[in-house]
Chains A and B, each alone.
Chain A
Amino acid sequence: MEIVNFAHGEFLMVAMYVAFFAWALAGLDPLLALPLAVAALAALGWATYHGLIRWVLGGPMLAQIFATFGLAVFLRAGAQFLWGVDFRVVQDPWLGGRVALGPVFVGLPQLAASAAALVAFLGLWRFLARTETGVALQATAQDRQAAALMGIDTDRMYALGWALGSACVGVAGALLAMYFYVFPDVGGTFALIAYVTVALGGFGNVPATLVAGVVVGLVEVFAGLLLAPAIKYAVVFLLYLAVVLARPQGLFGRW
């Protein structure tokens, strides 16, 4: 959509808090809280579009960057204000322990999260490629004015795009809450990895993002194993800069 949500990581943080509080207050397992997190985040995305993004779409680029940036600072500091800086953990989720896949041991929550992420990926891909609304969404992303001339309600499409993207973050947040600490700054690193992954694959290209995600994951693991765990993200970012030098549009991007 030619607009980057710099509050992406903070959306993830909100989703994780939704999952955490569903567990802490109502005793719901993160798996049960998943629809709740998805609904909450879709609402958040929709509200962000209508309350903020709409008003800066036609404005200067700087305003677009800082609008979501301000939202990120606001959400992060707001979480710290309301809930403090403590690390919180969901104890004894349904899925725990590990399973053996041949000679490899994998944590069960991680495995479930990967599977769910793949399902979400396939769902999103099929929605974008096969349904009329999905195609309209892509058209709006490609050329807003041309899409409007074809009778597409671009305003609705933008709102849908924001709700849909945020709902995906809701899926990720609920799953991540099963095995990761919840705290106000949790989103930072994940969001940066997410931007780099998408940029690596090429913007607006769902399957390329999946491939780039696998590449980033492998680089991260091997850099941690062969060099030092502490610098694995630095290696991922260096790889990204190297790719950008040769292909600014990403590995599979077209523009």
Chain B
Amino acid sequence: MRRALLLALLAAALAFPAAVTLPFPRHVLIMIFLYGSLAVAWNILAGYCGQISLGHAAFFGVGAYTSTLLVARAGLSPWVGMAAGAALAVLFSQAIAFPVFRLRGHYFAIATIAVGEIVQTLVINWDWAGGARGVFVPIKRPDSLWNFQFHESKALYYYVALGLLLLGLGVTRWLERSRHGYYFRAVREDQDAAASLGVNVAREKHRAIAVSAALTALGGTFYAQYIFFIDPESVLPLSLSILICLVAVLGGVGTLWGPVVGAAVLVPLSEYTRVWLGGTGKALDLVIYGALIMLISVLQPAGLVGLARHLRRGTRA
């Protein structure tokens, strides 16, 4: 039953671009997949390993900047840049892991904000990387898979984004069943108890942040190739880090499908409110989000997935 439902969902997702050719609905779905995959990546570190990072924009930016600079300055394919960006994000995550994992809980979260701010400040003042003005991805025609540029239709972007999301979900599913997934959750529940039972806490945390950083960087490269322009304000801000967590928290932290559910609710909400209330600069959508986050954390910290589980248990009992 459950498997049939998932297969039907996947088939619908694969068939969607053939059925709907309007650009806007396709764009909304692409954004759902992108933010879904970012939230899935964040969820591996925060949801399973219990380390609440508020600096994930830094990994996203590493992915976006690495591929874009390789395309613009060295003429390499974005796919090479994507792999390089993910590798660089892993190296970077391992370097920052030493100081930030000395801290726990709230203080870890603060340190990750500081990391994000450092990266953003440095990139703003780095002229070779475009500085505050940002970098354009050079436009190449005609469309080609090798150049990762599709101007005629969004369909291929759609499939790449879907692929990223499925990759993230696959990694999470594999982690859930693997030894390391259990170690991660042990660290989340009680770090000292896990250590006393022989879990190498530091090494597991390093693993979790490496996987999370790599997946986030892939999303960064995708964003750069989709929008064709990146600057520190769009790929490195604290607000992006917050948005990533928000998607996961709304859906349900520490669950496989939570981040996807969160993205499926939040992204259309923000895309459509932007269209309806757009240009007023009134930030009404953010007022609603803020209230929503407070409500969720007080009433249902397990998110929408937790709420659904709760309701289902209620009807059975």
Chain A residues within 8 Å of B, Cβ to Cβ: 2-4, 52, 55-56, 59-67, 69-78, 80-81, 84-85, 188, 192, 195-196, 199, 203, 228, 230-231, 233-234, 237-238, 240-242, 244-245, 248
Contacts and interface: CB of A to CB of B under 8 A. Distances in A.
B287 A63 contact: no
A78 B111 CA distance: 27
A245 B98 contact: yes
Interface residues of B, number: 47
A77 B242 CA distance: 14
A69 B292 CA distance: 11
Interface in B278-303: 281-287, 289-298, 301
Contacts of B113: 192, 195
B106 interface: yes
Contact of B296 (A66, A230, A234, A242): A66
Interface stretch (B12-20, B119-127, B147-155): B119-127
A52 B281 contact: no
15 contacts: A59-B301, A61-B50, A62-B297, A63-B297, A64-B297, A65-B106, A65-B109, A66-B245, A66-B249, A70-B295, A81-B287, A230-B125, A241-B114, A241-B118, A244-B111
B52 interface: yes
A237 B106 contact: no
B2 interface: no
Interface in B244-292: 245, 249, 253, 281-287, 289-292
B202 interface: no
Contacts of B281: 80, 84-85
A192 B114 contact: yes
B102 A248 contact: yes
Given A70-B290, A81-B284, A248-B103, A231 B253 contact: no
A199 B98 CA distance: 17
B110 interface: yes
A61 B105 contact: yes
A42 to B, nearest CB: 21
Interface of B: 46, 50, 52, 96, 98-100, 102-103, 105-107, 109-111, 113-115, 117-118, 121-122, 124-125, 238, 242, 245, 249, 253, 281-287, 289-298, 301
Q: Could you tell me the dominant secondary structure of chain A's interface residues?
A: helix
B294 A231 contact: no
A78 B287 CA distance: 6
B106 A70 contact: no
A196 B282 contact: no
A73 B289 contact: yes
Nearest to A203: B107
A159 B284 CA distance: 30
A242 B99 contact: yes
A69 B293 contact: yes
A74 B103 contact: no
A59 B102 CA distance: 23
Contacts of B109: 4, 65
A233 B301 contact: no
A52 B282 CA distance: 25
Given A56-B298, A195-B110, A238 B293 contact: no
A237 B125 contact: no
Given A73-B293, A196-B110, A241-B115, A65 B52 contact: yes
Contact of A230 (B102, B121, B286): B121
Given A73-B242, A74-B294, A240-B114, A64 B124 contact: no
A62 B301 contact: yes
A56 B297 contact: yes
Contacts of A70: 289-297
A228 B125 contact: yes
Most chain B beta-carbon contacts within 10 A, residue among A72, A73, A80, A242:
A73
Nearest 3 pairs of A and B residues by beta carbon: A74-B290, A70-B293, A77-B286
Contacts of A244: 99-100, 102-103, 111
A83 to B, nearest CB: 11
Given A56-B298, A199-B110, A73 B286 contact: yes
Given A84-B281, A230-B121, A244-B100, 9 more contacts: A67-B297, A70-B289, A73-B290, A76-B290, A77-B285, A77-B289, A203-B107, A237-B117, A241-B100
